[in-house]
Chains A and B, each alone.
Chain A
Amino acid sequence: MSSISVRRLQKELREINKDCPQGIKLVKADDFETWYLTLEVLGESLYKGETFMLKFRFDAQYPISSPSVTFVADDKHQPPLHSHVYSNGHICANILGDGWSPVLSVSAVCISLQSMLASSRKKERPEGNDRYVQYAPDDPKKSRFVYEGMHLILDFQELYFADLTPYTVHFLDDRIWEVS
């Protein structure tokens, strides 16, 4: 890990420990790669009384590159029911992608997610949640949005647009030929 990301995270850690934003708690920060924080929405909101777990992953380029941020989805934790949060915990938010700025920080992200939930009017999953969850990469930063009708066509295009190189085809069913 580069010294910049470590120095920067050390500073953020000191500040969070000294003065953590309301409704946010640092749960686990054993290293400078993965942090866990809990998040509550303050005041009146659809999420009153609920606590969510956030997982931050940092690469060596942090904060030049954005952290990878997801809501934890396991036996104990459920991601909030919100139109920008997929059931696997991936969050569709500009500041985590295009809108990321290196001057933003872990607590800035938490505050902004808090506000995102606070302003929600309806508890619902994003459109196309099931399909997204089915095809989403583990790291939401690698997500390219899943467009309508993408499923099988992908294999097909790989097959037909492939260069004249040896190729392998695993097509639906392994009765089918395989060339490698």
Chain B
Amino acid sequence: MSSDYEFSDDDNEYYDGMDMDDDEDVEEQDDDSGISEEEMDIELARGGLTSAGKRKACEVDFDTVTQDAVEALIRRDVEHISSIFGVSEDVASLLLRHMEWNKERLIEKYMDTPTEISVKAGVTVTPPRPPSPPPSGRLASIRSKSSALVAKRTTRRSAAESASRSKVVTEPLVQPETTICQICFDDEQSEMNALSCGHKFCVDCWAAFIRGKIREEGEINIRCMASECSLIAPDSFIRTVLSGDDDTIKRHQELIVRHYVSCNKNLKFCPYPGCTYTVSCPSAASKSALTTIVPTVHCGASENHIFCFGCSIDADHRPVICPVAKLWLKKCQDDSETANWIKSNTKECSKCQSTIEKNGGCNHMTCKKCKYEFCWVCMGPWSEHGTSWYNCNRYDESSGVEARDAQARSRASLERYLHYYNRWANHEQSAKLSVDLYAKTEKKMEEMQITSNLTWIEVQFAKKAVDEVFKCRMTLKWTYAMAYYLEKGNQKELFEDNQRDLERAVEDLSELLESPIEAENIPKLRQQITDKTVYVHKRNEIMLEDTAQGFLEGRWKWNVDVEGF
């Protein structure tokens, strides 16, 4: 234990509840001196500021951008290009989309080779070409759309060419002079429409085709229906053809916004289903930035729309940085180690050997058969955990040093991995079981309203406690991924001290939440849970803040190469 470390409470002090002079510590207070629920709310809601009022190191600056605002950015670019090139906004939009909204590069290229770029962007057809018969529509087409298999494409080109030679053998489906739509052959269809290539089809076929591309395939660039034509339908054409179908037009607009956002490194679209908000976070736009910050952001639609700006590994994988989280996940996904994960989810009672599964969020297990009480993590008797809890979070690395031959070394490395893995998976599993805990807690809250005279508002503390437990388990989970890659030494020990303090507090709170309700102990339980919730919240902040601070100071050293991401 490091007593000089400002955030660490000494073990004994913790358990004796003596450390009352430290205002960060709210442990084990008597009912009457406990904090009120309003105070709890203030603590939990302190947002992006530390108690000292400065910006937290574990939070990044970001802005939320509405879809309207992104559309305004798009309009600005389109109008700009339209005015300097002297083209319609339809054309400007197609050109920009083709160049992935990189205005500067578009201007450069367009000045150089305007025709080439216009053809590639699907704005115009390949110019001088002797008037060829209208599209035969019989040929296997080679689309310029990037295909993974180049070889395949060349094969098909020759296939198409030979197909064109055998064309004469069969009747043409398309008769040049006809006014009947060559797709539906419905002679009652009179209204025909075409892009500038002149490939005419009836409006119903156009609408069905465009609607399918947008809704089913999420395409923003919709090519002409003729099989060898690479012209792309401009937005005004889409709006005309789909007139009345505002839903699909809106969806197309949304897809364009998403495309624009995905082409801009400073922007990310909110990944929550149905959400249309964008987050801007320039400080996390470079890969190198991701080695020192964890850009956990949320969109403007909801505080719950939390996601990582740097990766899609987990919504909030603080405190560990994206590249290390990714490294860890990759390791876990390795087949050979998957089996070990399975092992860690069922265990045998160390007394009677019957198989047990973890089915609650708390680590305090009781064997159904023999009533033996033990710790799920270390399998040691629960009775000893009052004082020896920290044996549970820190793997004794010295045991690895003893290993001499290669076999023993590999076994030691597997055991070392499993140590972190089991704890990582355990918090994951416990967090998932919070669903059950929510349900149970809700029941308890009802019970409390009946047996005591607490109001609905007054029992909300229990729900807040469950929220906090869930949040902290997510933190704890990722601290194990981080600790696995941290180089041995003082810094790692300090990290694990914080980790242990948080873990112990979370387990205590989980235990309290699962304790039985009796009418006479409700006020006491309520106070205990409220106090513990605030304490857990603080421990979590300390864990996150100190780790983030450590990244900025370059305090964390890895036992693997982390630069190469």
Contacts and interface: CB of A to CB of B under 8 A. Distances in A.
A101 to B, nearest CB: 3
Contact of B152 (A11, A22, A92): A92
A164 B170 contact: no
Interface in A55-86: 61, 63-65, 83-84
A8 B183 CA distance: 7
Given A94-B156, A111-B166, A99 B435 contact: no
A49 interface: no
Contacts of A22: 166, 169
Interface stretch (B137-145, B243-251, B531-539): B137-145
A115 B183 contact: no
A177 B426 CA distance: 13
B152 A64 contact: no
Contacts of A50: none
A99 B167 CA distance: 19
Interface residues on chain B, size class: 35 or more
A103 B174 contact: yes
Nearest to A120: B155
A29 to B, nearest CB: 17
A156 B335 CA distance: 10
B353 interface: no
A136 B216 CA distance: 20
B162 A118 contact: yes
B562 interface: no
A99 B142 contact: yes
Contacts of A11: 185
A95 B170 contact: no
A3 B182 CA distance: 15
Contact of A153 (B141, B225, B333): B333
A104 B227 contact: yes
A8 B185 contact: yes
Contacts of A108: 137-140, 163, 173
A171 interface: yes
B520 interface: no
A52 to B, nearest CB: 16
A134 interface: no
A7 to B, nearest CB: 6
Interface string A108-127: 10011011101110000000
Nearest to A15: B171
Nearest to A103: B137
A101 B346 contact: no
B147 interface: yes
Interface string B133-167: 00101111111010111001101101111110011
Contacts of B173: 12, 15, 103, 105, 108
A98 interface: yes
Contacts of B153: 94
A103 B357 contact: no
Interface in A4-47: 4, 7-8, 11-12, 15, 18-22
Contacts of A167: 432
B412 interface: no
B137 A98 contact: no
A69 B205 CA distance: 22
A130 to B, nearest CB: 17
B498 interface: no
Contacts of A153: 333
Listed residue (A8, A157, A165) with the most chain B CB atoms within 10 angstroms of its CB: A8
Interface in B183-209: 183-186, 201, 204-205, 208-209
A101 B227 contact: yes
A46 to B, nearest CB: 13
A15 B182 CA distance: 14
Contacts of B135: 103
Interface in B205-227: 205, 208-209, 212, 216, 225-227
23 contacts: A15-B173, A20-B170, A21-B166, A22-B166, A92-B152, A93-B140, A94-B141, A94-B147, A94-B152, A99-B141, A102-B183, A102-B201, A103-B135, A105-B138, A112-B139, A112-B160, A115-B140, A119-B158, A152-B338, A157-B333, A160-B428, A164-B470, A175-B346
Given A63-B183, A101-B141, A115-B162, 14 more contacts: A7-B185, A15-B173, A21-B166, A64-B208, A94-B143, A95-B140, A95-B141, A103-B135, A111-B167, A115-B163, A120-B155, A157-B333, A164-B431, A166-B435
Interface of A: 4, 7-8, 11-12, 15, 18-22, 61, 63-65, 83-84, 92-95, 98-99, 101-105, 107-108, 111-112, 114-116, 118-120, 145, 152-153, 156-157, 160-162, 164-167, 171-173, 175-177, 179
Nearest first, the 8 closest Cβ-Cβ pairs linking A and B are: A103-B137, A101-B227, A112-B140, A115-B159, A115-B162, A95-B140, A102-B183, A116-B159
